[in-house]
Amino acid sequence: MSLDKDTVRRIAFLARVRVPEDALEPLVGELNKIIGWVEQLSEVDTEGVEPMTSVAEITLPLRTDEVTDGYYSNRVLANAPDNKGPFYAVPKVID
Amino acid sequence: MTALLTVLTIAKARDGLVAGDFSAEELTTAHLEAMGSKRDLNAFVTETPELALERARASDARRAGGDVRGAMDGIPVAVKDLFCTEGVLTTAGSHILDGFRPSYESTVTANLIEAGAVMLGKTNMDEFAMGSSNMTSYYGSVKSPWRGSEGQDLVPGGSSGGSAAAVAARVSMGATGTDTGGSIRQPASFCGIVGLKPTYGRCSRWGIVAFASSLDQAGPLTRSVRDAAIMLGAMAGHDAKDSTSAPFALPDFEAALTGDIRGLKVGIPKEYTLDGMSNDIQALWDDGVKWLEEQGAECQELSLPHTKYALPTYYIVAPAEASSNLARYDGVRYGLRVNGASIDEMYENTRGEGFGEEVRRRILIGTYVLSAGYYDAYYLKAQKVRTLIARDFRQAFEVVDVLLTPTAPTAAFAIGEKTDDPVAMYLNDVFTVPASMAGLPAISVPAGLDADGLPLGLHLIGRPFDEETVLRTAEALETAAGFTARPDGVGA
Amino acid sequence: MAYLIQGETGGWEVVVGLEVHAQIVSQAKLFSGASTAFGAAPNNQVSLVDAAMPGMLPVINEYCVEQAVKTGLGLKAKINLHSVFERKNYFYADLPQGYQISQYLLPLVGEGTVTLGMPDGSQREIGIERLHMEQDAGKSMHDQDPNRSFIDLNRSGVALMEIVTKPDIRSAEEAGLFLRKLRSILRYLGTCDGNMEEGSMRADVNVSVRKVGEENYRTRAEVKNVNSVRFIQQAIEIEAERQVEAHESGAGVVQETRLMDSARGETRPMREKEFAYDYRYFPDPDLLPLDLTPDYVDAIAADLTELPDDKQQRFVTDYGLSAYDAGVLVADRETADYFERVTHATSEGGKTGSRDAKMAANWVTGNLFGALNAAGLSIAESPVSADALGKLLDLIADGTISGRIAKDVFEVMFETSRAAGDIVEEKGLKQIIDTAEIGTVVDRVITDNPDQAEDVRAGNDKTIGWFVGQVMKATSGKANPQAVNELLAKKLKG
C-alpha cells in the first residue's frame, strides 16, 4: 500500500495539521518511505497471535466514588490562550 | 573547591554532605556555576537557579535539624523538560507548549523533591521526545560535551540529550530522562554516562508529557551505576494516579550492588550482530562477555528471533499512540494558538506551526496506521508482532538472568548528519527498542571508546521488575571497564 | 396495526434505532475525582484530567462500573466479563483530549431486551444491541458572542452509558414508549436519573423508511442529540416524512448526520467537511482491560432491585389489580412504593395487615394523581403521605365515612396535610348509619315532594336517584348511601 497526495491531505485534515500544498509532494515521499519500511512486518506469521496492548501484567485498578478533585477553575484556565470570564473561548463553532 | 564538587558522584556527594565537608548550597552553587560556563551546549531550556538555591538551603536546614531524607537530599539534578513542574515552564521541546506553566508537579519530580533533590533546571530534548539526536527541539540542538576527532560538534543522542549532556559535562550530578524506544540509554551511550530505563510501570507516568503511553518510562541518567540505583530509588514507586503503575513495593536498589555475579547466566542474543556493524562495537561487546565471565558469570549465545521486527513495530505503535496523545495540543486550553477563521482552521494553523517536522511526520504516520482500512494491516499487525517480541524475551529469561548487547550501533555522530533520511535516524534505536516493546528494565553502561575516542555503551536487559540484577551486572561491567574518560575541558 | 406513512407510491414503514446516552448516577466522574453535580459555576467541577492537561492520566471509578453492570442486568443483557476501553479520536472544541474514552469492539454489556406494554394490551420486545461506558464531553455555547464560542468543561468526563437498540422500533409512539420504559428501568435501578431537561438522558435517533414488505433496510440518517421524548418523537415523524418524499421524488436518502430544529419543525444536515469522520478507535494505552469475575456480577444480580415488569406481575398476582392499573402504578418506582405503603397498614394508630388493594390503586391513580397534576407536584412532594391516605381508606372501610365524603376529606388533607380522622371529627362528617335517623329524613323528603313520589310509583326509577340526592343534601352527604337507597325503595315502592 502506498500513500498518494489525496490520502496525505486527508490524514493531515484528520490530524488537524496544516500541510501547505507545496509541502505535500515531498511529504508523500517521506511517508511512503517509512510505510514501505514498516511493511516488512507482513512477512511475520501472526496467525493465532493475540495483539498486545499493554505490557503491564496487572489488572485495571479501580478508585472509589469520591469527589477528591476540582473546584479550581483558576488553575484550569491559567494557561488559556483566550478566555471569557470562567469560559475558554475559541473561534465560533458552527454545527 | 567548586570544580572538585562537580566531579563527584551522587554517592560521594552524599558522603560529603553527611560528613559536613560541604553544604548542599555549596554543592548547588558549584553546579550552577558549571551550568553558566556550559551554556554553549544548549542543554537547558530553562534554568531555575533561585529555586535550586532555595531547595538547597532548605536541605541544609533540614540536615542541621537532624532530618535527612536519604541519599538524594541536597543533590543537584536536572529535569528533562518533559516532566511537568509546578510553576516552571514546561515545553517538551515544542513550540506548541509556548508559555505553559503547569499548576502541578509530575509524580516522579514530586518524589525527587520529597527526597530532597535540588532541581537545577529543565533540560532540552527532542520535541515530544521524538528523536535520537536532539536535533528536533524547537529550542535548538544540544551539543554533546564530547567533540569529534576533527573538533566537530556532535549530537548528545536523544531524546533525553540535554539531560545526558548536562550530566556528562558535570553540570548536574544526575538527571531525569524518559525512554520510549531508547531515549535514556542511547544518549547515555553517546555521552559516556549511565542511563537506566526501569521496567514499564516502575515510575509513574503521571505528569510526564505523553509520547507513547504503552512505552514511556522515566529513569535516571547518572555517572555511575550506584548513582543510578540511588536516583531510581527516589524516582520510582507505585502511584494510584497512573493505572499502569505497578503496585509493588520498591526494593533497595543500592543494596543490590553486592559486586557478586558468580553463577549469573548471561544471554548473548545473536540477532544483535548487525551486518556492517563497526569492529569497535563488536570488540567492546566481546570485552563485555569476557569481563562478566571473569567475574564468574556464565555467558551463552541465544536467539531472539523477532528482533529485526522490533524497530518497524515500534514505528507503528509509537506514532499511533502519539497521534492520539498529541491531539490535546489544540490551542484551546494552553500553549500556542495560531488563529483561523473557523475552529478547524485554528486547529490546523496551531498544530501546523506548533509541531516541528518530525512530530508532524509521526502524527501523520500514526493517524494513517489507525485510519479506516489500514488499522488491521498496520496497527493490529504491529500489536501481534509485539506479542511475539515479548514472547522471545520471556523464553530467553527462562534460560538466562540478563541479556548483554551493545547500546547503539554507532558512537555519536555530527550535528546535521542523518537528517535527510528518517529511517536511517530511526536505526539508532535498533538495540534499545526491543526491550522497550517488552517493557523490560535495561541499562546502558559506558564501557569504552571507539577509534575516534568517543564513548560507547554496553546494554543489559533484565526480567520485568528485576532492576536489581540489571544494576548488579551493570556494576560488574563498570568495574571491569574502568571507564574514566571525560570530554575535553570537563572536570578537574 | 403497524404505523405506516402513506406516500404517493404506497405505504412506508418506519424503522428506528436509538442510541441513548444516559448519565450514570455517581458522585465523581468516570476517570477523575471531580464532582458530577449539576449546575456548578463554569469550569469549576473540572480536574486537570478533565481539562486534558499534559501528562494527566485516567483512573476508573469502580462505582460507575457497578452501575453499568447493574443496568445491563436490568436490561436482561449479557455482561461481558472482559471489556476494553478504546479511544475515539476526533477534534471538537469541548473534547479536551482530542479523543473520547469509550468502548468499541468489546463493550461491557451485550445483547438484551426491553419489553413494552402497548396501549392495546399487547407486548412488544425491543432488542438491545449493546451498552458501553464512555466519557461525556464538555459544553459549548455558541450564542454569547458574534465571533467566539465559549467552553465549559464541567460535564467533561462525566460517566455515560450508551445504550444502543436494535432497529426494532416502528413508530414515534413506540420510541416514546421505549424511552419511558427505559427511563423507568434506569430510575428503578438508580443508575441514571433520567432527567432529560438537565441532559442526563439524550438520544441519537437513527431513522430509515422502507416500502411495506421490503426485507432489507434502506439508507438511514442519524438525528443527533435530541433531548426530550417529545422532540425525539417529532424528529422521527419529520425525518421519516422527509425520507419518504426523498425516495419518492427520486432524490434518495444519503447516510448523514442531521440536527433537529424543533422551532422550525425540520431536520437539517450538519455542516461537516468531506471525510470528516474516521474515529481511529484503538485500545487506550493509559488503561488496562476491565476484567470482572462471575462472582462480582452474581453479587450485583443478587442485590438487584425488583424491576417494573416483575413488580407489575406481582401487583397483578398479589393484589388482583388489572394489568393496566398495575402498569400505571409501576411506571414510576416512587408511585409503586407509595401504593404499596397505602396497601400495607402499619400498626401505629391504625389497623395492621392489608387494605383493599383495588381501592388503594383507584385512590392513587385517581384522586391522588389528579390532585398532584393540578398542583404540579411529584409524588415525592405529595402533601398527603401514603400512611395518611391509608388511614383515610380505613375510615371508608369501617363505614365511618362514605366514599363521597372521603373525597371531600381528601381535598382538605391535600390542602392542609392534616390527618383524615381529625378532619372528619372536626367537621362532623361521620356517616349516619342509624336507619331510624335516616328514615326520618326519608319520610320528610317524601312528604315534601308528593309529585315526584307519585312519579316513582308510576314506574319512573330514575326519579329515585333524585330522591337520593335530596336525602344526601338534607344530611350534608353524611347518610350512608346504601341505607338511603334501601329505605327509599322500601318506602316508595314497597
Residue B252's pLDDT is 97
- The C-alpha of B403 sits at a distance from chain C's nearest C-alpha, in angstroms, of 27
Distance (Å, rounded) from C-alpha B28 to C-alpha B74?
8
- Contacts of residue C74, defined as CB under 8 A and 6 or more positions apart, other chains included, come to C185, C186, C188, C189, C191, C304, C307
The closest CB to that of A67, out of C27, C42, C43, belongs to C27
Domain count, chain B: 1
Determine, for residues B339 and A75 on separate chains, whether the beta-carbon distance falls below 8 Å.
no
On chain B, the residues whose CB falls within 8 A of the CB of C97 are: 327-328
B414: β partners: B154
φ, ψ for residue B441, nearest 5 deg: -75, 140
* CA dist list (Å): A13 to B349, B363, B368, C112, C279: 11, 11, 11, 39, 13
Q: Residues of C183-200 as b/e, b for ≥16 C-beta within 10 angstroms?
A: bbbbbbbebbbbebeebb
Interface with A, mutate which of B358, B364, B378, B423 (most A CBs under 10 A): B364
Least confident span in A46-55, B258-267, C78-87, C431-440: C431-440
Q: In sequence order, what are the beta bridge partners of A91?
A: C148
Which pLDDT band, with edges at 50, 70 and 90, does B1 fall under? very low
- What is the predicted pLDDT for the residue at C350? 45
Domains along chain C with CATH numbers? 4-302 (no CATH), 308-427 (no CATH), 435-493 (1.10.10.410)
A13 contact residues in C (CB cutoff 8 A):
273, 275
DSSP per-residue letters across C32-62: SSBB--TTPPTT-S--TTTTT-TT----EEH
Average pLDDT over residues B68-83: 97
DSSP code at position C169:
B
So which residues of B are the catalytic ones? 80, 159, 183
Q: Within a 10 A sphere around the Cβ of C304, how many other Cβ atoms?
A: 14
**B 287-346 residues inside an 8 A Cβ radius of A:** 306, 309, 312-313, 315-316, 323, 327, 330-337, 339-346
Measured CA to CA, the distance from residue C128 to residue C167 in angstroms comes to 9
Q: Which of B92, B100, B379 sits opposite C282 (nearest CB)?
A: B379
SS3 C105: coil
Q: Cell match 577509534: residue?
A: B451
Residues in chain B with CB shorter than 8 Å from the CB of A49 are: 384-385, 387-388
- Backbone phi, then psi, for B376, in 5-degree steps? -65, -40
Cα distance between residue B29 and residue B54, in whole Å: 11
Give bridge partners of residue C17 from the DSSP assignment.
C206
Cis peptide before B159 (omega within 30 of 0): yes
Q: Cβ separation of A56 and B331 shorter than 8 Å?
A: no
User: How close are the terminal C-alpha atoms of chain A, in Å?
Assistant: 35
* pLDDT reported for residue A42: 96
pLDDT in tens, B112-168: 999 999 999 999 999 999 999 999 999 999 999 999 989 999 999 999 999 999 999
Distance in angstroms (rounded) separating the CA atoms of residues C384 and C414: 6
Query: What is the total residue count of chain C?
Result: 494
Residues in chain B within 8 Å Cβ distance of A2: none
> Residues of B with CB below 8 A from A6's CB?
none
Query: What per-residue confidence (pLDDT) applies to C491?
Result: 86
DSSP-derived 3-state class of residue A9:
helix
So what's the pLDDT on residue C351? 47
The answer, yes or no, to whether residue A56 has pLDDT greater than 90, is no
Q: Is C288 close to A82, i.e. CB distance below 8 A?
A: no
Q: Is residue B317 part of a domain?
A: no
Q: How do beta strands C221-226 and C201-211 pair?
A: antiparallel
Is B384 contained in some domain? no
* Side chain identity, residue B335: G
Closest residue of A to B316, CA-based? A38
Nearest alpha-carbon partner for B202 in B440, B9, B12, B24: B440
Shortest Cα distance, chain B CAs vs residue C84, angstroms: 14
ipTM of the complex: 0.97
Residue B331 predicted with pLDDT over 70: yes
Look-up of cell digits 562478566: B292
The C-alpha cell that represents C413 in the structure block: 388533607
Q: What are phi and psi of A42, to 5 degrees?
A: -65, -20
Contacts C283 to A, Cβ<8 Å: 53
* Minimum-distance CB partner of B384 among A19, A51, A61: A51
Residue reference for cell 493509559: C286
Alpha helices (H) along B102-255: 107-114, 161-168, 185-191, 225-235
pLDDT surpasses 70 at B455: yes
What is d(CA C408, CA C423) in angstroms, rounded to the nearest whole number? Answer: 10
Find the radius of gyration of the CA atoms of chain A.
Answer: 22
The pLDDT assigned to B260 comes to 97
pLDDT by 10-residue block (mean), chain C, 494 residues: 83 96 98 95 97 98 98 98 97 96 98 93 94 96 92 97 98 95 96 90 95 93 89 94 94 90 86 71 97 98 95 93 92 93 69 80 95 94 95 90 90 94 87 86 90 86 87 87 87 78
Q: How many CB pairs under 8 A join B and C?
A: 97
Q: Are B50 and B91 in contact (CB under 8 A)?
A: no
Q: Provide the CATH number for the domain around residue B52.
A: 3.90.1300.10
C-alpha cell at C414: 391535600
Q: pLDDT confidence of B491, banded at 50, 70, 90?
A: low
- Is C105 within 8 Å of chain A by CB? no
Q: Which H helix or E strand runs over B347?
A: helix B343-354
Contact of B78 with B166, CB cutoff 8 Å: yes
Residues of the domain holding B223: 2-244
Question: What's the rounded Cα separation, in Å, for the pair B90 and B87?
Answer: 9
- What pLDDT score does C272 carry? 62
- Mutation target to probe the A interface, by most A beta carbons within 10 A, among C151, C270, C278, C281 is C151
A55 CB neighbours in chain B (<8 A) are 200-201, 214, 390, 437-439, 464
Across the interface, of C57, C60, C91, the residue whose CB is closest to B206 is C57
Residue C110, helix vs strand vs coil:
coil
Q: Is B157 inside a domain boundary? A: yes
In a domain, B483, yes or no: no
Domain membership of residue B201 (yes or no) is yes
Three-state DSSP state, C489: helix
Nearest chain B residue to C95 by CA: give it: B328
pLDDT in the model for residue A53: 86
Cα C138 from Cα C143, distance rounded (Å): 16
Nearest CA in chain B to A41: B309
Secondary structure element (H or E) that encloses residue A15, with its range: none
Cell numbers standing for residue C392: 383515610
* Residues B324, C91: C-beta atoms closer than 8 Å: no
Q: Which of residues 197-226 of B touch C (CB under 8 A)?
A: 205-210, 212-214
